[in-house]
Every structure is written in C-alpha cells, then in structure tokens.
A and B are shown apart, each in its own frame.
Chain A
Amino acid sequence: MLDVVLPILIFAALALALAGAVRRVRLWRQGRPSPVSVLGGLAAMPRRYLVDLHHVVARDKVFANTHVATGGGFVAAAVLLILVHGFQLESRLLSWALLAATAVMFAGALRVAARRKNPPARLSRGPWMRLPKSLFAFASGVFLVTLPTAGVLPASFGGWALAAVLALAVAWGIGEMFLGMAWGGPMKHAFAGALHLAFHRRPERFGGGRSTGLKPLDLKDSTAPLGVGKPADFTWNQLLGFDACVQCGRCEAMCPAFAAGQPLNPKKLIQDMVVGLAGGTDAAYAGSPYPGKPVGEHGGDAHSPIVLRDVREGRALVDAETLWSCTTCRACVEECPMMIEHVDAIVDMRRFLTMEHGNTPNKGREVLENLATTDNPGGFDPASRMNWAADLDLPLMAKRGTADVLLWMGDGAFDMRNQRTLRALVKVLRAAQVDFAVLGNEELDSGDVARRLGDEASFQTLAVRNAATLAKYRFREIVTCDPHSVHVLKNEYPAFGASYTVTHHSTFISNLMEKGRLTLGEWTGGRVTYHDPCYLGRYNGEYEAPRKALKGIGIKVVEMERSGFRSRCCGGGGGAPITDIPGKRRIPDMRIEEINATKAEVVAVGCPQCTAMLEGVVGPRPEVLDIAELVAAQLVTAPAPARRAEEALEAEVAA
C-alpha cells in the first residue's frame, strides 16, 4: 500500500509546494527592482550558505552542530526520499543512505527539542514549538517506511494499520517540511533564506568582505519614492531578506535599544515587515514584543503606509518611535545568521519620515535646519570651526595645497570635550613629525547625522560640497579621531566621487608606534578597559589597532564581557541622542555598568560620541579618556631627533 500512497503524497506535496513558492516569489516581487546577477547569485549560494552563514551560526557551537545535523540530514533525506519512494528506485544503497540521513536528522531533532524544552526569551514560540515534533515525524516516519526497501524488514511487515500510521507520520513531516517552506511555516526560512543568500543586496559581505555604507537615494529621479513609505517601496530582495528571518532572536539579544526598554526589537521589526509584505496583523507573532507595546494592534499590507503621518489617525504597521529608537550600531546585522540588513531597512523608512512627513522627533528638526544653514548640527558659526586651535598654528590646506596627511577634524571641533582629544592628537602628530594639514573652515559636517536621521538630501548636499573641497588638494590619506567621519568618508563618499584612504587616529598612531616614530613612556595608571565604537568596529572591522596603540604605551586592556564585534553601543549613534526616544533606562548607563564590572579606573575610547555619552553618566564611573589623550600623556617631552640636536648643542657648550 505504501508504494502507492508515498509517491502520491510526495508528488502532491511537491506540486503544492511549487504553487506556494510561486505565490511567495510574487509577494517579494511587489518590491521595487534591484538588479542582481541571477545565475551568479545562485551559483554562489551554496558557498555563501556553507561558509558565510555557517560562520555566523557557529558562534553558538552547540546549535551549529544541531543545525548541520538537522538541516543537512533533511536535505539529503528529502532528495533520497524523492528518489527512493517517489520514483521507487530500487537501490539498496540509496535506501541505506536515506536511513542514515534520517537518523542524522533525528539526532539533530533531539537537540532542537532539547533547546525548545525551556527556550530562552529571544526565541519565538508559537509554530516554532511544534517544529521539533514535525522533525521527529518526518525523520522517524521516513526511516520506518524505508526499512522494508532497505531489506531490513519484509515488505509486508506490520499490515495496513501500521502502514496507515506511517503514511500519516510521513504526511505530517512532508507537510511541515515541504509545504511549510513555501506557504509560510517555520521552514519558510530554508526556502527564502537560500534565495536571500543568492540575491543579497550586499554581495560584498560574503567571503569575508564588508559592506556597511548606506545606499544613496537617486534624488534626481522625482518619480522614485523618497525612502520607504509602504512595504512595496522596499526593493524586492529586501523583502525577500525579511522573509528569510528564522526568528532566532540573536538580534534581540544584542540590541541596545531593546535592552534599554525602548520600543524596538529588531526581530519584531523584521516580522512586521513580513506582515507588511504578506498582509495581515502581527497577532500571530509569538516572540518578545517591542518593549511597552502589546502585540496584535498593528497591521497593514504591501501598499498601505508603514507609519501613519499623525499618531491620532490610529496605528499602521510600525510606530515611528520604533524606527527612531535605533542607534544604527549594527549589532543586529553583525549577529544575524541570515545576514538580514536591519539598519538599511530602518534608515530607508526614516528617510520617508523625514523627507516626506517632515517629522523627525525632538531635536531632529533643529539639527537638520542647522545643517542646512550652518553646515554643522550645532548651528555654530562655521567661521569658528578653527577656534579650538587658535594657538596651535595648524597648517591650512588652503595655504599648503598638499600634505601627507589631511587631519579631518569632524564636528567635534565645536565641542569642548573633543577639542581636548584633537589637541592631544595634534601633539602626537607633531611629536612624530607627521606632515599634516587641516581644511580649517572649509571643512563641513560629513553628513553622518543627517543621513542617519533620514535626510538624504542634506547628506548629499554636504557630501558633494565636501568632495569638491577635497578634490582641490593633494594628500596621501585622511586621518580623523571620529569613527563616524571614518565611515562616511571611507564607505559612503565614494558614491559621490571621493575615494580616499581614510584612517582612524588609533590605526594611524599604532602605525607610528610600529615605525618607531614616537618616544613613549610607560603607563603607570591603573586598570584600563577599552570600549569599541560601533562605527570603527562593526562598520570598519578595526578592533586591533586601538588595542595595539594602548599596548604600545604599556596598557594591558582588561576586556569587557561585550567587546570587539559584540561591543555594546554607547547610545550615541544614528542620531539617537537627538531623537531621544524614552526607554526604561539609558543605553550609556548600561554600558558604564559593564565597564564598571571590569573594575577599570580608565575607559579608553576612540570616538567623540562615545566620549560624550559615557561622560554623561553619573558616577561612580571610570575616567573616560581618548586613545589620543592616553598616548599624548606618555610622550617623552621632546621628539627623538630634536633631543639629539639638543644633546649635541650641550656637548658643544661643555667643550
């Protein structure tokens, strides 16, 4: 009986799955066009899956093995199932292989079930709780129906009653695994995920690459939407990416805004986008909600607004404050095993809120107006940009025309705290006799804040004007003490015709140390920990240089629990201090707690935003010092060549 039922079952399920797949693809194709290489992407997909995705999953060793066993076992079992029971190929070898595959899958399913017994808060429940049972049904059902074909049991074993039970088990398993993939069960992640890897919007991320710069909007095209106002305004492969989410909640566990009780949960946001592309409400969502926002009150479809213009009009897919809670720290993106681009999506939606609704919260309006009228977010007189260096006699590019190093000051030039860092950096550069110059008042804000606040128009104006200024001069590299400037100049300006080598001051200083161009004393202070800035670490992959620079002055960094690529944001990125969405606690307070846990007396930083945010926390807390300040304090008074000259002079006098 089974040899009649099974082929029907398998091919009916495959046909239905195909129909579901077509429907799903049409849902994604509601999005706007985005050119991808279809064949190239599909060809690259296995490698992206087996190497890049697995690399992220493998941060959790136990679960990586579980997934390899379950997923690998299933793929092999599915192919063999179709051959052995679908096409009824009579091969002992294939049957035994199928038995092995289902056994491996069963072992994996045991681990999945163990994890689901008492799942951590970050995991979604709901349909995901039945997944281990479905895996068992599939693995054991297929195993048992294969025993006769493998010759272990006689074909007539057990009679029709057992055959019927086994057919039901297989049907359940196939239903979950084949139909669920295309029609939207937990297994959807396998189908959407594979295609998402193939057609990813940032293919540079695979093979160890990095792609973090936001994609520019084409403002010349007046028919294109300004950002994303409704789900269909996303590109089709962004929609596909949302659909790939496995709801593992690793993003949620890393999100500083979620931890602070602000109304954002990256996992929920991606699920809301899935609701948006398929239509409906978020009532079926079974994970942690946005803090303070009950589930079931939001909904929408692909062609209705994501955020309503006015809160009094009711609710749509997402509330604006959810989008404005993000610090763009990229912790979610870094942690996502499916390589979903949360930050891109959030900024896309913010663009619409700022450029169409004109509704940037709190100080947003003021900051954007200041940028338009004074080229800096604080609204300071642009002619006072160099006031901090009135006594330093810094060489100006306008006079020199050329220099080895262009020192990009950043908007920290207006901030009294960061001026200390800048002065320390100048001291170090002079001690190493670096040939450098500054743009002076010609420098404008890099546009970082404008872009993160969604004001792409102001950003592009600033980028084009800065690029024109930079093009006037000749220099080897740009050095800056602001990682936000590093990111924007290095990763986002090339789209505006300005491609330069951009170095963070910590990298530059550690290079100077390696070349032996600095005479430095040894650090005699207490314990030091180092706080990785998001825009240097996750955005630019620079984790080593700051630590090397600190090591160069004899500091042994006491690492925090969350450091390196898992460093927690200070709360200062993405315009978050400007939009200032309330939560239960403040992000910098949480970070200082983590810093305090190391019992450090000094926390070394490398970013003006981090400095401001961490110094804004009430004590007791360690002293916050920039790497440049720490190094400058260890400079032995006169640089080596000058001292030699002095010694020679003394010798002459003595003679």
Chain B
Amino acid sequence: MQREDNGKPTGEQALKIAALVSVGRHPVTGRTRRAEYDARAVEIGFSLAKGEDLYLVHAGECSPEAEAALRGYLGMGIGAIDVLQQPAGSDVVPALEAWLRTAAPRIVLCGARGETGEGSGLVPFLLAERLGWSLVSGLAEVESVVRDTMTVLQALPRGQRRRLKVRLPAVVTVDGAAHAARQSAFGPARRGELRRKAFGTNPDGAAREWTIAPARKRPKRLKIVKASSARDRFKAAAAKAEGSGGQVLNGVPAQQGAEAILKLLREEGVLR
C-alpha cells in the first residue's frame, strides 16, 4: 500500500475536506466509541488534506458518552469538531446541509455504515441529493485529485475494485475496504475542541413511525460447492457472484415484468 506515492492532492489551492462523524457503538459491549467506518473516512481525509483543511462535523445529541466517543476522532490528531446540537429524534440532514453549504468543502467523507441511530446510512444520499453534488458509495481509496475531478477506487464484493472519475464537489461513503484508521491518542483527544453550535431542529417525522430492533445477521443462501480439487474450491470461493439462469427483461410491458418477478418469488419460496 504505497499510499504516499500516489501523487495526492495536486490542486493549486489547498483542498478543503469535510468528514461527517457519528457516535459508534461497540458490537459486543455496546459502549460508545468512534464509529469504525467513519474513522476510516477521517483517515482518508488525512491522506488528502493537511490538518487545518480537514473539517469534522457531528450532528446530534452531545451527551457525556457521545462526547467521549467524539474525542476518539480528536485523538487522531484533529484540532476541533463542529458539533451541531440536535436533540434526540430530530432529522440531522437539514442541519448538516446548512453547515456544508457554509463550509463549502470539495469532498465530504463519511462512513458507509453508522453504528447508532440513523448513522450515515441514508444521510449521504439525502445530502448529495439536496446539494446536487456527486455521490460515490463504497470508496476504498482516493487515487488522485486534479482540479475539479478525483479518481477513486470503489470497493466491490470479493476484493474487486472499480476506478471511477468523479466530479467535485462530491459526497463519498467509505467502505470497510479502506485503510484502517490510525490509533486515537489520549493527548490530542483531551486537548481537542468540541465546538458546540446551536442549530435549528427539525423533528424527524418519518423516524417516529419506525420500529427499531437490533440488527440480525442477514440469512445467507447456502452455497454448496461441489469441487473435486483445491483449485476448484478456490475458484468457487474467489469467483465473481455471477447470476446464472437469470433473465434480463428490457422494454417489456409492466404486466409481463411483474409476472416474471412473481414467478421467481414463487420458485424461491418467498411467496407461497
């Protein structure tokens, strides 16, 4: 991983980067911490911008636990985090949108998946839509930034990568395939500043109707590999997930398409 040699920011002026950070939750103990994917986003931010051009922002409650978790990001060597104070159950998107419009970064980084609340799941998509900026999901690495475009590697399943050219400004979600976040150190975490900012609150009407349950592991279809040699087993394990026996329906009437879907669902036993 020769991350330094990739001819990073080559723009004439300093590249302004923002990273959206959320409060994480340890999967076993449930303790708050810096969120794994968001921390990777901050790490990418470090590779693109010098300390003062990297802005961190968090929108949400600022409880003592949340503060401890946010200090986890400060410990990576960030001077300050802007905390847009939002009470529990409010929609953070408008606050973030307003903040991004004022700060006007060229790249907005965030983790592909948060660990608590709405985290960063849909937030980047909503923000990109409202701001009219490009969106890249599942980023593994930023290869170069030249003026108004950046070249990135997008992570695909099974270690595959897709090189994309993206027009800036852009919102980017960072995948678990990105470089691991650096250690968070006690000294900078203690010195760093949480700049609390009051922001207009928007109650999240949609979220009120949701029922929230702990995530379960998604059931996985059993894949039976009938292979006689190690080579076959390896090929089966490393092969691209190819749809076999599927159908591509293009330009067919809606009725016919719906029937095809229903037929498949019955075959698979989803509908009985």
Q: Which of B182-212 contact A (CB under 8 A)?
A: 182-188, 190-191
Please name all residues of chain A whose beta carbon is closer than 8 Å to the beta carbon of B33 when the two chains form the complex: 369, 372-373
Please name all residues of chain B whose beta carbon is closer than 8 Å to the beta carbon of A373 when the two chains form the complex: 26, 28-29, 31, 33
0 or 1 for each of A443-458: is its CB under 8 Å from B? (1 = yes): 0000000000001110
**Pick the contact of B184 from A222, A358, A374, A382 — CB < 8 Å?**
A358
Q: Does B77 contact A (CB under 8 A)?
A: yes
Q: Which of A322-362 contact B (CB under 8 A)?
A: 354-360
Contact B188 A358 (CB under 8 A): yes
**Pick the contact of B187 from A355, A374, A379, A381 — CB < 8 Å?**
A355
Contact A368 B26 (CB under 8 A): no
Q: Does B119 contact A (CB under 8 A)?
A: no
- Tell me the smallest distance from the CB of B259 to a CB of chain A, in Å: 49
Contact A355 B183 (CB under 8 A): no
Please name all residues of chain B whose beta carbon is closer than 8 Å to the beta carbon of A356 when the two chains form the complex: 185-188
Decide: A358 near B28, CB < 8 A? Known: A365-B183, A368-B183, A372-B33: no
Q: Does B127 contact A (CB under 8 A)?
A: no
Contact B185 A354 (CB under 8 A): yes
Interface centre among B28, B182, B187 (most CB of A within 10 A): B187
Considering the complex, give the chain B residue whose CB is closest to the CB of A222.
B190
Q: Does A132 contact B (CB under 8 A)?
A: no
Q: Does A364 contact B (CB under 8 A)?
A: yes
- Tell me the smallest distance from the CB of A158 to a CB of chain B, in Å: 69
Contact A381 B28 (CB under 8 A): yes
- Tell me the smallest distance from the CB of A313 to a CB of chain B, in Å: 13
Q: Does A226 contact B (CB under 8 A)?
A: yes
**Pick the contact of A358 from B29, B31, B185 — CB < 8 Å?**
B185
0 or 1 for each of A380-400: is its CB under 8 Å from B? (1 = yes): 011000000000000000000
Please name all residues of chain A whose beta carbon is closer than 8 Å to the beta carbon of B182 when the two chains form the complex: 358, 365
Q: Does B76 contact A (CB under 8 A)?
A: yes
Q: Does B45 contact A (CB under 8 A)?
A: no
Please name all residues of chain B whose beta carbon is closer than 8 Å to the beta carbon of A365 when the two chains form the complex: 182-183
0 or 1 for each of A156-194: is its CB under 8 Å from B? (1 = yes): 000000000000000000000000000000000000000
Q: Does B75 contact A (CB under 8 A)?
A: yes
Tell me the complex Cα distance, A539–B75, Å: 33
- Tell me the smallest distance from the CB of B4 to a CB of chain A, in Å: 8
**Pick the contact of B77 from A226, A358, A364 — CB < 8 Å?**
A358
Considering the complex, give the chain A residue whose CB is closest to the CB of B34.
A369
Considering the complex, give the chain A residue whose CB is closest to the CB of B33.
A373
Tell me the complex Cα distance, A455–B191, Å: 16
**Chain A interface bracket (under 10, 10 to 19, 20 to 34, 35 or more):** 20 to 34
Tell me the complex Cα distance, A457–B187, Å: 10
Residues of A contacting B: mostly: helix
Q: Which of A200-229 contact B (CB under 8 A)?
A: 222, 226
- Tell me the smallest distance from the CB of B197 to a CB of chain A, in Å: 24
Contact B26 A374 (CB under 8 A): yes
Q: Which of B5-46 contact A (CB under 8 A)?
A: 26, 28-29, 31, 33
Considering the complex, give the chain B residue whose CB is closest to the CB of A372.
B33
Tell me the complex Cα distance, A374–B33, Å: 11
Tell me the complex Cα distance, A39–B172, Å: 67
Tell me the complex Cα distance, A457–B75, Å: 13
- Tell me the smallest distance from the CB of A266 to a CB of chain B, in Å: 27
Contact A455 B29 (CB under 8 A): no
- Tell me the smallest distance from the CB of B200 to a CB of chain A, in Å: 34
Please name all residues of chain B whose beta carbon is closer than 8 Å to the beta carbon of A379 when the two chains form the complex: 28
Q: Which of B104-145 contact A (CB under 8 A)?
A: none
Please name all residues of chain A whose beta carbon is closer than 8 Å to the beta carbon of B183 when the two chains form the complex: 354, 358-360, 364-365, 368-369
Please name all residues of chain A whose beta carbon is closer than 8 Å to the beta carbon of B29 when the two chains form the complex: 373-374, 381-382
Decide: A374 near B28, CB < 8 A? Known: A358-B75, A358-B76, A358-B77: yes
Interface centre among A355, A358, A368, A456 (most CB of B within 10 A): A358
Contact A355 B31 (CB under 8 A): no
Considering the complex, give the chain B residue whose CB is closest to the CB of A384.
B28
Contact B186 A355 (CB under 8 A): yes
- Tell me the smallest distance from the CB of B89 to a CB of chain A, in Å: 26
Please name all residues of chain B whose beta carbon is closer than 8 Å to the beta carbon of A364 when the two chains form the complex: 183
Considering the complex, give the chain B residue whose CB is closest to the CB of A381.
B28
**Pick the contact of B186 from A369, A374, A457 — CB < 8 Å?**
A457
Please name all residues of chain B whose beta carbon is closer than 8 Å to the beta carbon of A372 when the two chains form the complex: 31, 33
Tell me the complex Cα distance, A381–B29, Å: 7
Decide: A226 near B26, CB < 8 A? Known: A358-B75, A358-B77, A373-B33: no
Tell me the complex Cα distance, A455–B107, Å: 34
Tell me the complex Cα distance, A358–B78, Å: 12
- Tell me the smallest distance from the CB of A361 to a CB of chain B, in Å: 10
Considering the complex, give the chain B residue whose CB is closest to the CB of A312.
B4
Considering the complex, give the chain A residue whose CB is closest to the CB of B187.
A356
Please name all residues of chain B whose beta carbon is closer than 8 Å to the beta carbon of A374 when the two chains form the complex: 26, 28-29
Considering the complex, give the chain B residue whose CB is closest to the CB of A361.
B183
Considering the complex, give the chain B residue whose CB is closest to the CB of A368.
B183
Tell me the complex Cα distance, A388–B26, Å: 24
Tell me the complex Cα distance, A354–B187, Å: 9
- Tell me the smallest distance from the CB of A398 to a CB of chain B, in Å: 19
Contact B185 A357 (CB under 8 A): yes
Please name all residues of chain A whose beta carbon is closer than 8 Å to the beta carbon of B190 when the two chains form the complex: 222
Interface centre among B28, B186, B188 (most CB of A within 10 A): B186
Tell me the complex Cα distance, A267–B149, Å: 55
**Pick the contact of A226 from B76, B184, B186 — CB < 8 Å?**
B186
- Tell me the smallest distance from the CB of B180 to a CB of chain A, in Å: 8
0 or 1 for each of A3-28: is its CB under 8 Å from B? (1 = yes): 00000000000000000000000000
Please name all residues of chain A whose beta carbon is closer than 8 Å to the beta carbon of B184 when the two chains form the complex: 358, 369
0 or 1 for each of B54-96: is its CB under 8 Å from A? (1 = yes): 0000000000000000000001110000000000000000000
- Tell me the smallest distance from the CB of A319 to a CB of chain B, in Å: 18
- Tell me the smallest distance from the CB of B39 to a CB of chain A, in Å: 10
Contact B28 A226 (CB under 8 A): no
Tell me the complex Cα distance, A47–B268, Å: 89
Tell me the complex Cα distance, A373–B184, Å: 13
Tell me the complex Cα distance, A382–B77, Å: 30
Interface centre among B28, B29, B77, B183 (most CB of A within 10 A): B183
- Tell me the smallest distance from the CB of A271 to a CB of chain B, in Å: 28
Tell me the complex Cα distance, A354–B184, Å: 9
Please name all residues of chain B whose beta carbon is closer than 8 Å to the beta carbon of A360 when the two chains form the complex: 183
Please name all residues of chain B whose beta carbon is closer than 8 Å to the beta carbon of A354 when the two chains form the complex: 183, 185-186
Please name all residues of chain A whose beta carbon is closer than 8 Å to the beta carbon of B28 when the two chains form the complex: 373-374, 379, 381-382
Please name all residues of chain A whose beta carbon is closer than 8 Å to the beta carbon of B185 when the two chains form the complex: 354-359
Please name all residues of chain A whose beta carbon is closer than 8 Å to the beta carbon of B186 when the two chains form the complex: 226, 354-356, 455-457
- Tell me the smallest distance from the CB of B189 to a CB of chain A, in Å: 9
Considering the complex, give the chain B residue whose CB is closest to the CB of A359.
B183
Considering the complex, give the chain A residue whose CB is closest to the CB of B185.
A358
A-B contact pairs, 9 of them (CB 8 A): A226-B186, A356-B186, A358-B77, A359-B183, A369-B33, A373-B26, A379-B28, A382-B28, A455-B186
> Chain B interface (Cβ within 8 Å of chain A)?
26, 28-29, 31, 33, 75-77, 182-188, 190-191
7 tightest A-B contacts by CB?
Answer: A358-B185, A358-B183, A365-B183, A355-B186, A356-B187, A457-B186, A373-B26
9 extra A-B contacts, CB within 8 A, seeds A365-B182, A382-B29? A226-B187, A354-B183, A355-B186, A356-B188, A358-B188, A359-B185, A369-B183, A374-B26, A374-B28
